[in-house]
């Protein structure tokens, strides 16, 4: 019998939720280029706000780290988000006529606040592996979504507007970052008991549900 890694167990626990991502009208609209730009603009602002708190979760992970390697990894991702992933958002916001100050002054939607509040609670109250589990759903799902969009529509990366989003999350560099996170997750949970693993599944699954709710929020432009 092949033994599953912790990450594989988490993905298996949330597979039904993840199956809904690429059938979501917002995601499909990115893939075929039909998404209303006003919806995408709303999403970009909300996701920009989300990334600010997402970075705080990584920073808390660095503070919780029990060894230098883990501390360095968590800390490195705070820079990767602030100086990398946010650049994609800033480029889109510029094209949409939004300045960063305007985005930072926007009010986060209820779904956004609920999601980030949950992740931050995990980050402040629990251990380094639990922090990694809270982070992983967002990081991995975006890669899966982007690659499935390309699988369904090979021209998706070439779309004049949405192509940059697809290319960014389907890129080799983004994949390499996720490989490091997966390795971290599996390393931190070596020797975890069944009870501890079930708790990680709970965190990962709930964050996956929040990811689905985030797409719903963006599609409906919920406040």
Percentages helix, strand, coil for the chain (3-state, rounded to 5) are 80, 0, 20
Q: Write out the two tokens for 139.
A: 């990081």
Query: What pLDDT does 1 receive?
Result: 62
Phi/psi zone of residue 185: left (φ > 0), alpha (ψ -120 to 50 degrees), beta? Answer: alpha
Query: What pLDDT does 138 receive?
Result: 95
Q: Is 207 a catalytic residue?
A: no
User: What distance in Å separates the CA atoms of residue 70 and residue 184, rounded to the nearest whole number?
Assistant: 8
Catalytic residue among 85, 130, 177, 211: 211
User: What distance in Å separates the CA atoms of residue 195 and residue 150, rounded to the nearest whole number?
Assistant: 38
Question: In Å, how far are 87, 154, 169 from 175, measured between CA atoms?
Answer: 17, 18, 8
| Cβ–Cβ < 8 Å for 81, 58 | yes
Q: What is the pLDDT along the chain (223 residues), one digit of tens a residue?
A: 678 999 999 999 999 999 999 999 999 999 999 999 999 999 999 999 999 999 999 999 999 999 999 999 999 989 888 877 677 787 888 888 888 788 888 999 999 999 999 999 999 999 999 999 999 999 999 999 999 999 999 999 999 999 999 999 999 999 999 999 999 999 999 999 999 999 999 999 999 999 999 999 999 998 9
Domains of the chain: 6-220 (1.20.910.10)
Query: What pLDDT does 142 receive?
Result: 96
Catalytic residue among 138, 190, 198, 202: 138
User: What distance in Å separates the CA atoms of residue 26 and residue 163, rounded to the nearest whole number?
Assistant: 15
Phi, psi of 127 (to 5 degrees): -90, 180
**Exposed/middle/buried for residue 196 (C-beta within 10 Å: 0-12, 13-18, 19+):** middle
Alpha-carbon dihedral of residues 85, 91, 92, 95, nearest 10 degrees?
A: 180
| Cβ–Cβ < 8 Å for 21, 142 | no
Within 8 A by CB and 6+ apart from 149, the residues are 22, 27, 30, 31, 156, 166, 170
Calculate helix-pair angle for 194-220, 128-152, nearest 10 degrees.
50
Task: Write a three-state SS string for 102-136.
Answer: HHHHCCCCHHHHHHHHHHHHHHHHCCHHHHHHHHH
């Amino acid at each position: 019998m092949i033994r599953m890694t912790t990450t594989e167990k988490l993905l298996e626990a949330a597979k039904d939720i993840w199956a809904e991502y690429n059938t979501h009208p917002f995601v499909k609209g990115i893939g075929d280029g039909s998404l209303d730009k006003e919806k995408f603009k709303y999403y970009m602002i909300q996701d920009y706000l989300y990334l600010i708190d997402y970075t705080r979760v990584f920073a808390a992970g660095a503070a919780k780290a029990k060894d230098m390697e883990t501390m360095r990894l968590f800390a490195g991702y705070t820079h990767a988000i602030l100086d990398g992933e946010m650049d994609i958002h800033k480029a889109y916001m510029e094209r949409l006529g939004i300045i960063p100050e305007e985005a930072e002054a926007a009010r986060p939607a209820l779904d956004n606040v609920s999601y980030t509040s949950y992740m931050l609670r995990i980050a402040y109250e629990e251990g380094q592996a639990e922090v990694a589990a809270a982070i992983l759903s967002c990081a991995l799902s975006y890669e899966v979504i982007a690659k499935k969009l390309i699988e369904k529509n090979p021209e998706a990366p070439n779309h004049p507007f949405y192509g940059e989003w697809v290319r960014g999350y389907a890129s080799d560099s983004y994949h390499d970052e996720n490989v490091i996170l997966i390795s971290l997750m599996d390393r931190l949970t070596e020797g975890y008991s069944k009870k501890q693993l079930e708790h990680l599944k709970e965190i990962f699954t709930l964050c996956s549900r929040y990811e689905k709710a985030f797409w719903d929020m963006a599609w409906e432009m919920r406040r």
